């Protein structure tokens, strides 16, 4: 792993303030906060590359993984690739690509994170979201990048950013927690965490009524996150009381 000593002080306080185990920094050492980053390339015969670091803000080593989601994609794009500290991966020709295995980032250390796109020698534009996870799938941070080649431009359509409406009950809950929703064609998931941030339940959501079994959980406070296309759109508290 490559130590980025100049980032450690800022990374610690950024992670402490947001309760994030991993945060994304740019190549200058600044915390990435922009909702959409645009990378322009005049060349259509070379990869356009974004340079970032995944920084571990905790006091212990953590397993890390990531995913790439195509938000706006041009069929002419030949290859998109993601490199981290361990390997470079040619992403499959799929809407969502997940890193095959997790890798460990030591306490206070960082990993290179470099998304790359090659447009296949034609003018093109794409928008990809890159999500960072800790452990077995705890969402930590995200960046969205627009790659523009030869002055082409593209935009998210309204269907991709359509809101998710849902009704969750009861709260407090005992045996079953119910979530009624309309997914509007999105990939929606619910993740339930305990107060230590450990994932205790995971469920794919469907249109209509979704029943989440709370069997085996101790009484206490939990938090559930609703994810739309792998992005957390809301996190709320759930009280379990048997």
Radius of gyration of the chain (CA): 19
> Rounded CA gap, 171 and 65, in Å?
32
Percent of the chain's residues with pLDDT above 70: 89
> Rounded CA gap, 210 and 223, in Å?
17
SS3 15: helix
For CA atoms 67, 59, 136, 87, the dihedral sign is positive
pLDDT of residue 16: 36
- The answer, yes or no, to whether the previous bond of 127 is cis (omega within 30 of 0) is no
| pLDDT tens per residue, range 62-91 | 999 998 988 888 888 888 999 999 999 999
Q: Which of 77-91, 134-148, 151-165, 172-186 has the highest mean pLDDT?
A: 77-91
Is pTM, for the whole model, over 0.75? no
pLDDT of residue 1: 43
pLDDT of residue 162: 57
User: At CA 227, angle to CA 206 and CA 178, rounded to 5?
Assistant: 50
Reference 93, options 115, 75, 114; nearest CA is 75
> Rounded CA gap, 212 and 201, in Å?
8
Using CA atoms in the order 180, 181, 185, 188, what is the torsion angle rounded to 10 degrees? -70
> Rounded CA gap, 216 and 50, in Å?
44
Percent of the chain's residues with pLDDT above 90: 49
Question: How many CB atoms neighbour CB 155 within 10 A?
Answer: 11
Reported confidence tier of residue 50, pLDDT bands at 50, 70, 90: very high
Among the listed ranges 88-97, 123-132, 198-207, 225-234, which one has the minimum average pLDDT value?
225-234
CATH of the domain spanning 165-240: 2.60.40.1930
> Rounded CA gap, 230 and 95, in Å?
12
Query: What is 5-149's CATH topology?
Result: Immunoglobulin-like (2.60.40)
Residues contacting residue 164 through CB under 8 Å, at least 6 positions apart: 181, 182, 183, 184, 186, 188, 226, 228, 233
205-212 contacts, C-beta under 8 A, 24 or more apart: 205/179, 205/181, 207/181, 207/182, 207/183, 208/180, 208/181, 209/178, 209/179, 209/180, 210/178, 210/179, 210/180, 210/181, 211/176, 211/177, 211/178, 212/176, 212/177, 212/178, 212/179
Among the listed ranges 3-17, 22-36, 213-227, which one has the minimum average pLDDT value?
3-17
All structural domains of the chain with their residue ranges = 5-149, 165-240
Q: Inform me whether the pLDDT recorded for 3 exceeds 50.
A: no
The mean per-residue pLDDT over the stretch 25-44 comes to: 88
User: At CA 85, angle to CA 81 and CA 88, rounded to 5?
Assistant: 25
């Amino acid at each position: 792993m490559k130590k980025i000593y100049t980032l450690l002080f800022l990374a610690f306080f950024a992670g402490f303030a947001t309760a994030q185990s991993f945060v994304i920094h740019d190549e200058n050492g600044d915390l990435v906060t922009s909702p959409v980053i645009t990378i322009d390339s005049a060349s259509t015969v070379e990869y356009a590359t974004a340079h970032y670091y995944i920084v571990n803000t905790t006091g212990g080593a953590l397993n890390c993984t990531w995913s790439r989601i195509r938000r706006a994609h041009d069929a002419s794009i030949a290859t998109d690739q993601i490199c981290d500290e361990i390997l470079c991966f040619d992403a499959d020709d799929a809407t969502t690509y997940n890193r095959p295995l997790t890798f460990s980032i030591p306490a206070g250390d960082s990993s290179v994170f470099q998304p790359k796109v090659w447009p296949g020698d034609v003018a093109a534009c794409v928008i990809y979201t890159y999500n960072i996870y800790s452990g077995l799938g705890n969402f930590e941070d995200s960046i969205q990048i627009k790659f523009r080649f030869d002055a082409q431009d593209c935009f998210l359509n309204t269907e991709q950013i359509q809101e998710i409406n849902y009704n969750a009950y009861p709260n407090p809950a005992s045996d079953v927690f119910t979530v009624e929703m309309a997914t509007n064609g999105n990939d929606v998931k619910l993740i339930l965490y305990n107060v230590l941030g450990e994932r205790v339940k995971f469920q794919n959501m469907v249109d209509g009524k979704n029943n989440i079994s709370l069997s085996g959980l101790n009484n206490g406070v939990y938090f559930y996150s609703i994810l739309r296309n792998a992005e957390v759109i809301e996190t709320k508290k759930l009280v379990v009381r048997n």
